């Protein structure tokens, strides 16, 4: 599914990928398929891709904008990957998803059935993607320093004073960690870190509950009938909280998730409500990374020296978009034609804010009668 090394491909090199979530693992796999040696380093801090269960579903919009188009293409990539690497009915299911409007009354005209949508246990996919002889994974280790060595024209990657690896290319795929001081560059935009809590439990504990026939999405999400080692489970998500930084599971957030389910499925919600304050309900918390325009941030890190790349800001759709964004990034890194139309590459480009800032400055200059700047 990823591009293979061809006789005219640039010769394989060494890369270090920071972050082993869906963005990092799929970037590493795409590079390894081209013959590159890749070291992946992950600190294991609340990565969104360790989500117990997520939905692969399209984004829809009236203008069919970049996010909608990318999400459809991303789903195609994910379907191939899930079929290639995962066990259907165990790690993923082509379940379809019923999508409801986020707010307001629900009717036949604003409720859409997406037959191609699916649920997935993302950790199974990241594990499978990283299982490649050219990929070495270093876990439970924070990268807290990057230095470009002029002599060897390569990056030195540090944990404290220890140099973990040296590579010609470094890919920042650390989710909200890309905004941390150690990985930040002059051109890093302000990422939003958005906390989310999932509520889940075993179906046998509420055998009397009337379960929806299919997974639902839009006004939160609910997925029943998911096989786990302990029996079939239901998954209810998720809170969306940009003001909180705590990462502990809370009963209040469980209650919020159940309360929102009540808007669409009041009987299911009232069967689950008593569990909220009991030990039988489980929770998971992760942190999403977003930008204000809600699009991924993919490409070279403009202000830094050669060989520093970023693949982040997947927001609430990283499971749908991650593989596609990695393919786009690897095409840029290896100077291959990108796998999507140029307007989509531009929409997620890591240079887009710099260009917009220049355009705004030029407009302001023009309005004030200042002659054009030389490097604009
Ligand atoms: C509650 C919730 C529900 C969601 N539901 C869905 C869904 O249904 N469908 C969907 O498509 N998406 C969903 N998402 C979004 C999706 O999970 C994310 O967009 C996606 O997982 C992001 O992947 P990533 O690899 O970019 O980042 P992450 O998965 O966050 O990975 C980044 C990794 O970098 C590591 N890291 C950070 N800093 C450092 C450092 N300095 N050194 C070393 N390692 C570092 C972290 O440990 C982490 O593992 C959901 C997210 C949340 C939180």
Residue 35 belongs to domain with CATH number? 3.50.50.60
Q: Best mutation site among 318, 323, 326, 329 for ligand 1, i.e. most ligand atoms within 8 A of its Cβ?
A: 318
Q: Which backbone phi and psi does 229 adopt, to 5 degrees?
A: -65, -25
Which pLDDT does position 188 carry in this prediction?
A: 84
Considering the domain architecture, whether residues 222 and 75 belong to the same structural domain is answered as no
Predicted confidence (pLDDT) at residue 262 exceeds the cutoff of 50: yes
Asked if residue 109 belongs to a domain, the reply is no
- Number of Cβ atoms within 10 Å of the Cβ of 360: 10
Does residue 154 form part of some domain?
A: yes
314 CA closest ligand 1 atom index: 19
One domain, residues 154 and 200: no
Say how many Å lie between the first and final Cα of the chain, rounded.
40
Average pLDDT over residues 302-308: 77
Query: What is the distance between the alpha carbons of residues 81 and 4, in angstroms, rounded to a whole number?
Result: 15
Which of 58, 316, 321 should be mutated for ligand 1, with most atoms under 8 A from CB? 316
Residue nearest to atom 44 of ligand 1 (CA): 42
Is residue 239 domain-resident? Answer: yes
198 and 279 both lie in a single domain: yes
77-94: pLDDT as tens digits:
999 999 999 999 999 999
Q: Do 82 and 157 fall into the same domain?
A: yes
- Alpha carbon of 269 to ligand 1 centroid (Å): 28
Q: What is the pLDDT of residue 374?
A: 41
Q: Say yes or no to pLDDT of 210 above 80.
A: yes
pLDDT class for 10, splitting at 50, 70, 90? low
The rounded distance, in Å, linking the Cα atoms of 289 and 254 is 22
Comparing C-alpha atoms, which of 90, 167, 171, 79 is closest to residue 124?
A: 90
Mark whether 84 and 154 lie in a shared domain: yes
pLDDT at 363: 66
Residues 250 and 331 placed together within one structural domain of the fold: no
- H helices then E strands: how many in the chain? 8, 19
Please check the confidence at residue 372 and state whether its pLDDT lies above 60: no
If one counts the domains in the chain, the total is: 2
Quote the pLDDT of residue 358.
Answer: 59
Q: Say how many Å lie between the CA of residue 283 and the centre of ligand 1.
A: 16
Which residue has better confidence, 326 or 376?
326
Residue nearest atom 14 in ligand 1 by C-alpha distance: 316
Q: How far is the CA of 23 from the centre of ligand 1 (A)?
A: 8
Looking at residue 212, what is its pLDDT? 93
pLDDT top residue among 12 and 196: 196
User: Which residues span the domain enclosing 151?
Assistant: 12-91+120-191+291-376
**Residue of 247, 199, 184, 261 whose CA lies nearest to 44:** 247
Q: Please indicate, yes or no, whether residues 309 and 347 belong to a single structural domain of this protein.
A: yes
Q: Please give the number of the atom of ligand 1 that sits closest to the Cα of 285.
A: 1
**Does residue 186 sit in the same domain as residue 296?**
yes
Residue among 46, 241, 314, 315 to mutate when testing ligand 1 (max atoms within 8 A of CB): 314
CA of 341 to the centre of ligand 1 (A): 26
For helices 122-130 and 22-33, angle between their N-to-C axes, nearest 10 degrees = 30
Answer yes or no: do 176 and 213 share one domain: no
* Residues whose beta carbon lies within 6 Å of some atom of ligand 1: 18-24, 41-45, 47-49, 51, 54-55, 142-143, 173-175, 177, 180, 183, 196, 198, 221, 237-238, 286, 288, 312, 314-320, 322
331 found inside a domain: yes
| Ligand 1 atom 30: residue of nearest CA | 47
Q: Which of 264, 288, 312 is the last residue of a domain?
A: 288
Whether the per-residue pLDDT at 373 is higher than 50: the answer is no
Tell me 247's DSSP state.
Answer: -
Q: Is the dihedral of CA 56, 59, 65, 69 positive or negative?
A: positive
225/351 same-domain check: no
Select from 230, 260, 288 the last residue of a domain: 288
| Domain final residue pick, 254, 288, 322 | 288
Alpha carbon nearest to ligand 1 atom 10, residue: 317
Same domain, 39 and 79: yes
Q: Is the pLDDT of residue 376 over 60?
A: no
* pLDDT confidence bin for 371, thresholds 50/70/90: low
pLDDT (mean) for 13-25: 97
Residue scoring higher pLDDT (316 or 363): 316
User: Quick check: is 221 in a domain?
Assistant: yes
| Mean pLDDT to the nearest integer, 221-241 | 97
Per the model's pLDDT, the better-predicted residue between 264 and 46 turns out to be 264
Residue 300: the pLDDT is 94
Q: Which of 11-15, 226-230, 329-333 has the lowest mean pLDDT?
A: 11-15
Residues forming a β-bridge with 285:
197
On whether residue 97 sits in a domain, the answer given is no
The chain-wide mean pLDDT, for the chain, equals: 91
Q: Determine, yes or no, domain membership for 174.
A: yes
Backbone dihedral region for residue 89 (phi beyond 0: left; psi -120 to 50: alpha; all else: beta): left
Exposure string of 182-201, with b = 16+ CB inside 10 Å and e = fewer, is ebeeebbbebbbbbbbbbbb
CATH of the domain at 246: 3.30.9.10
Asked, for residue 104, whether it belongs to a domain, the answer is: no
pLDDT, residue 181, reads 84
Nearest ligand 1 atom, CA 23: 25
Atom of ligand 1 nearest to the CA of 286: 53
- Per-residue pLDDT, averaged over 268-279, amounts to 92
Alpha-carbon 207 to chain mean position: 34
Q: Where are the beta strands (DSSP E) in the chain?
A: 14-18, 37-41, 54-56, 92-93, 97-99, 112-114, 118-120, 135-138, 145-149, 154-159, 162-167, 169-172, 192-202, 216-217, 221-228, 231-237, 282-290, 297-300, 308-312
**One domain for residues 166 and 182:** yes
R_g (Cα) of the chain, nearest Å: 22
Determine the pLDDT at residue 119: 98
Give me the pLDDT at residue 243, please. Answer: 77
What would the pLDDT profile of 351-366 be if each residue is shown by its tens digit? Answer: 998 866 656 656 666 7
How many angstroms separate the CA atoms of 63 and 148, rounded? 43
């Amino acid at each position: 599914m990823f591009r293979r090394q061809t006789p005219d491909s640039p010769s394989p090199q060494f890369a270090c990928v920071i972050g082993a979530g869906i963005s990092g693992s799929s970037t590493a796999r795409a590079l390894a398929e081209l013959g590159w040696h890749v070291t992946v380093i992950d600190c294991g801090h609340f990565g969104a891709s360790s989500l117990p269960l997520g939905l692969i579903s399209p984004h829809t919009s009236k203008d069919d904008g970049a996010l909608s188009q990318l999400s459809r293409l991303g789903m195609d990539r994910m379907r191939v990957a899930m079929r290639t690497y995962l066990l259907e009915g165990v790690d993923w299911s082509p379940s379809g998803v019923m999508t409801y409007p986020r707010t307001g009354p629900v009717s036949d005209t604003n409720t859409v059935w997406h037959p191609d949508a699916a649920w997935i246990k993302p950790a199974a996919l990241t594990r499978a993607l990283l299982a490649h002889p050219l990929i070495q994974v270093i876990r439970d280790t924070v990268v807290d320093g990057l230095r470009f060595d002029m002599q060897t024209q390569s990056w030195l990657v540090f944990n404290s004073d220890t140099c973990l690896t040296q590579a010609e290319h470094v890919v920042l795929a650390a989710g909200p960690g890309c905004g941390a001081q150690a990985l930040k560059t002059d051109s890093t935009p302000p990422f939003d870190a958005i906390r989310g809590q999932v509520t889940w439990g075993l179906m046998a504990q509420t055998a009397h509950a009337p379960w929806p026939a299919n997974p639902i999405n839009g006004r939160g999400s609910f997925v029943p009938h998911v096989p786990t080692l302990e029996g079939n489970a239901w998954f209810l998500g998720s809170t969306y909280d940009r003001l909180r930084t705590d990462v502990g599971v809370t009963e209040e957030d469980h209650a919020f998730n159940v309360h929102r389910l009540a808007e669409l499925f009041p009987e299911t919600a009232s069967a689950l409500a008593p569990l909220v304050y009991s030990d039988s309900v489980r929770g998971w918390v992760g942190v999403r990374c977003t930008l204000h325009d809600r699009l991924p941030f993919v490409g070279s890190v403009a202000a830094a020296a050669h060989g520093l790349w970023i693949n982040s800001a997947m927001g609430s759709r990283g499971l749908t978009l991650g593989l596609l964004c990695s393919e786009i990034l690897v095409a840029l890194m290896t100077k291959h034609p990108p796998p999507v139309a140029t307007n989509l590459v531009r929409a997620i480009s890591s240079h887009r804010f710099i260009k917009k800032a220049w355009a705004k400055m030029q407009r302001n200059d023009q309005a004030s009668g200042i002659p054009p700047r030389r490097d604009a």
